[in-house]
Structure formats: C-alpha cells, structure tokens
Structure 1
Amino acid sequence: MAECVEAARRGDADAMGFVRCLAGGVASFAGEGSPFNKVAGLGFDGVPSAGDLDEVEKAFAARGAAAQIELAHLGDPAIGVLLTGRGYRLESFENVLGLALDGAHERVAPPGILVRSSGGEEFERWLDVLADGVAHPDSQGVPWHEEFPRESYQRAVRQLAAAGVQRYVALRDGVVAGAAGLRVSEGIAQFAGAATLPAHRRRGVQSALLSARLADAKAAGCDVAVITTQPGSTSQQNAQRQGFDLLYTRAVLVKQP
C-alpha cells in the first residue's frame, strides 16, 4: 500500500496522498476513490493510542474520505472495543489465506488454457481484463463491501504495476480470458488480484493463473504465498484446492468523516 501511494505521488505532484504507521499497520491515502485509502495490518503491534487514531481519522476526513480499518481477528480484542466506542461500524469480512512454498510447484492448466507473462505492449489490454472482471463479480460467497468506479480501479492497478507487480494473462483457445498480478517481496509472494472475463468462467482459468504464479513464486525463492478472498467465494475455493489455508479473517470497520 505504501509503495502504491508513492507511485501515485510520482505520477501527480499535487497528490494529497499520505502514509502513516499505526500499531503495526499502515494508514494510507492514494487519491480520491482509491482502494488503497484504508488502514491495514492494525493490531499486529498492540493497541493504538487514542491520539494516533485521532490523527489518522483527521487525515482521512481532511480529504473527504471515511476511515476504513481492516482488523485481523488475531489482534487484541481491546482494539475492537476501542473502535466501536469511536463510532466505527462493521461492514464486511475478508479472508487472508497462505501457503508455505516448501514443496514442488509446477504449472498445471486444463487443455486449451495457456498462462504467460504480459509485457508492456499489452498493458492496457491486461488492465481492461482486470477491470471487466471486477465489474462483473462472482455471485458466490460474501460480496465485496464496496465498489469502485472503473477509472479509480484502473488508476489503483496502474499504481500496483508501478510498485513492482508482475503481470500475467491467461489465454483460452488463443483468446485472452483472464489476467492476474504477483508481487514478490522479502520471500513473500503476494497474489495481487486476478479476474476472469464472464464468458470464460468455470473453465479452469483462475486455477491456471494460481498454478503459474505459485510456480514462479517458488522459482523466485519465496517461502510463503498469500492471497485475500471473500469468505465462501469461488476464489477462496480455488485457492484452497491449490493448498492454501486460512491464516486469519479481518473485519472491515468504517467511520464516516
């Protein structure tokens, strides 16, 4: 998230972005309507002080944004009590799954499906596939609690790419059917988004994208892979079939400015 904000700043000298550390997590604002306007990782280093929360909430409010916090269930329960007293409301849940890369991981794909790296010459196509897939979410499981305008979503994905995300496309019978991203940092492989176009769903595209990225993460020397999904979703089921296990569930808590 912090690197995405820095990418936003490089692209816009007048950007009002910020990054602040908060009790083991990061509070960030990357621009109006951005998915990176939130607090992630809160509670992995104790309970935040009221003063620190005041500063973060004022920073979001000054930019006309709600204060959104992702709170892992492994955090101190006192954090939830503190946030409730400050007017935060529970809006949704998300699951974070992980897989230790201590075994063999090879690319596996159904007949007719090919996953390959996506170069700069087709960046806009890769971006469009992700945006089109997100615009038509899978109806299985708990829905995402928020939707973003296409322009805001694409701007955020551009920032992800600028932060070092590797790009992939999946072809089905020679036609682009899906797209995905992978970010490698300090031995951790972060599965940074994936989407399948509606006409190509239920054909193994997502599983093939997962398999290819796991193989590349293993080859890059990563120790663990992580992915975020909605509870009960097809994405979660696909990840579990690849061996991912639930690491923690995080509550999405929001306080309006």
Structure 2
Amino acid sequence: MNRLELARRIERIKAEGTSAYIRHRKQTPPYEGAELHVEGKGHVFKMGNMSFAVGFGLNRPTSFYDLHQMEKWVRGKNVSRLHIEVCPLAEDSLLRLLQERNYTLDHFLDVWTLDLTQHASTSVPTQVEKVKDETLHEWAYAVAAGFAESGTILQETVDTAKGFYALPSNHAYLVREEDAVVAGGILATQDGIGELFLTSTVPTYRQKGYQTQLILERIAEAKALGCNLLTVTTKVDSASGRNMERLGFQPFYQKAVMKSPILK
C-alpha cells in the first residue's frame, strides 16, 4: 500500500468514527453535534463550540464552492471558526485555496503508525481491564478527569467518553489502582486498522506507567482482532508522543490544522 492510500485509510477511520459517534449521540436529545459530508471529499464536524474538517485534499479536489458551503454551514451552527486538518499528502491546491481565503496555521498534530505484522509482543504485568457496562461511569469519569486541564471535570467530556464506548467498533480499557479507576483509553478498529484515542490518566496518578500498560494492552488486542496496523494522533512533542515512539510507533506524517478567519 502506498503512502497516499494509507493516509486516506487513516483519515477515514477518524472521520467515520466521529460520524458514527454523532449519529449515536443524536438518538438521545438534546445533543447539538452535527456533520456535513461533502461527497467524495471529506467531512466537517461540529462538536461543542468547535468545528473541524477531516479528509479533504486526499481524494477529489476541494473547490472554492465546497469551502464556501462548508463555511456557510459552520456559520449556521453558531461556530466562529472552521478548523481544517491538512495532511501533507493532500493536493497542493487545498493549501492554495486556504491561503486565498486567509486561513492561518493554528497548530500541528503528529500521526504515528505501528506495523503489527513486524511487532514483537511484549508481556508485562498489567492492571488493565476491559470496560463493562457496570464500570462505564467510573471509567468515563476518570477519562474526563484526565482531560480536565483546569481541574473542572466537564459532564460533556463524560458523555463524550460514554458515546464512543457505545459504538460496536470501539473497545474501551481502564486501569485500576486499588479501588479507583485512574486511567483509560479506547481502541477503534476498521478494515484491518486500529486507532488508539481518548487516552488519559487522572493527574494525581501520572508517572506510574499506566499509559504504557494501556498502549501495550491495546496493541495485543488489535493483533488479536486481526489488525495489521495501529495509528494514533498526538500533540507535537507531547508525553503521549514520546510514549508511542518508545514503544515502537513510527512518525508517519504531521498534519497542519488551519483555522479560518472569524466567520461572520
């Protein structure tokens, strides 16, 4: 498989997983997330007060009209900016179009891969458990606590974790210290590719190797489920990225997240 086709598959698993999540959440109103699917080109999502676009420039070219309609849709959702994730393998015409529309760089994201056909399994003592319905709430609460940078655990983050847990293609894991759930994460699988995401540790329990345990457990599970590749997206120069590199993941590409001017 060439690099472009692999990038398409990686971006597709993220887009289709987010799409399935939004459809699931909409079954239990009120939920204000939404999706715009530009046929054959990419997806635009609205989640909370953010909007982001995935997959554009990797298949059919994105036109001025496409971008105008995307911005119009975002504006109609009362979101002030559109963020577009741009893969370096995307057509150059996409970046030129964004420059013409005065988009600017917001940040970068690292995309990592692990070839499971070449990966030697590592057996280590682990405190990882598969999440069950009876442990769902404490797992979701722990995941939300790990993402609570201000120290305030948001109910929406708890609900987000529960929503992703509910999808049939997702497998959720937790780490318990004594009676407390202190870390968690998800493995999503699609067409032989697994994606690790929604991984966090409660701040007071960090630096104890729990992320390593979660990564190794999900590597083993992905292999057992027949995946031949794992992918994960991290912030640039983050502890998560360094964990991935230490455990054998290779950098595949770095995405530029471009932001629109304020949409009025």
Q: Which TM bucket (shorter chain)?
A: 0.7 to 0.9
Using the alignment, how far apart are the partners of 2:124 and 2:40 within structure 1?
A: 42
State TM-score, norm by structure 2.
Answer: 0.83
Q: Which of residues 224, 227, 235 is equivalent to 2:232? A: 227
Aligned pairs, how many? 242
Q: Is the 8 A contact 1:5 1:29 kept in 2?
A: no
- SS of 2:90's partner is coil
Using the alignment, how far apart are the partners of 1:33 and 1:225 within structure 2?
A: 30
Using the alignment, how far apart are the partners of 1:184 and 1:248 within structure 2?
A: 20
Is 1:33 matched up with 2:49?
yes
Q: Is the 8 A contact 1:178 1:196 kept in 2?
A: yes
Q: Cα–Cα, structure 1 residues 105 and 196, in superposed 2: closer, same or farther, change >3 Å?
A: farther
- SS of 1:221's partner is coil
After TM superposition, the structure 1 stretch with the greater mean CA deviation from structure 2, 56-65 or 157-166, is 157-166
Is 1:43 matched up with 2:52?
no
What residue ranges of structure 1 are gaps of 5+ in the alignment?
138-147
- SS of 2:184's partner is strand
Using the alignment, how far apart are the partners of 1:114 and 1:175 within structure 2?
A: 12
- Higher relative CO (Cα under 8 Å, sequence separation at least 6) belongs to 1
Q: Cα–Cα, structure 1 residues 249 and 48, in superposed 2: closer, same or farther, change >3 Å?
A: same
- SS of 2:26's partner is helix
Aligned to 1:163: 167
What is the deviation of 1:45?
Answer: 1.2
Is 1:246 matched up with 2:255?
no
Q: Cα–Cα, structure 1 residues 71 and 104, in superposed 2: closer, same or farther, change >3 Å?
A: closer
Amino acid at match of 1:133: G
1:91-240 superposed matches below 5 A:
91-103=106-118, 106=121, 108-109=123-124, 113-136=126-149, 150-164=154-168, 165-173=170-178, 175-240=180-245
Question: Between the two proteins, what is the percent identity of the paired residues?
Answer: 24
After TM superposition, the structure 1 stretch with the greater mean CA deviation from structure 2, 20-29 or 79-88, is 20-29
Using the alignment, how far apart are the partners of 2:31 and 2:117 within structure 1?
A: 45
Is 1:63 matched up with 2:77?
yes
Amino acid at match of 2:193: I
Using the alignment, how far apart are the partners of 2:179 and 2:212 within structure 1?
A: 17
- SS of 1:45's partner is coil
Show CA shifts across 1:162-209 (max 9, x none): 333211111235542211111111111111221111222111110110
Using the alignment, how far apart are the partners of 2:32 and 2:149 within structure 1?
A: 30
Q: Is the 8 A contact 1:115 1:171 kept in 2?
A: yes
Q: Which of residues 67, 85, 89 is equivalent to 2:100? A: 85
Runs of 4+ in 1 over 3 A off after TM superposition: 13-16, 103-110, 172-175
Amino acid at match of 2:107: S
Amino acid at match of 1:220: L
After TM superposition, the structure 1 stretch with the greater mean CA deviation from structure 2, 215-224 or 178-187, is 178-187
Q: Is the 8 A contact 2:62 2:94 kept in 1?
A: yes
What is the deviation of 1:72?
Answer: 1.0
Amino acid at match of 1:55: Q
Using the alignment, how far apart are the partners of 1:245 and 1:5 within structure 2?
A: 30
- SS of 1:207's partner is helix
Using the alignment, how far apart are the partners of 2:31 and 2:144 within structure 1?
A: 26
Q: Is the 8 A contact 1:195 1:206 kept in 2?
A: yes
What is the deviation of 1:60?
Answer: 0.7
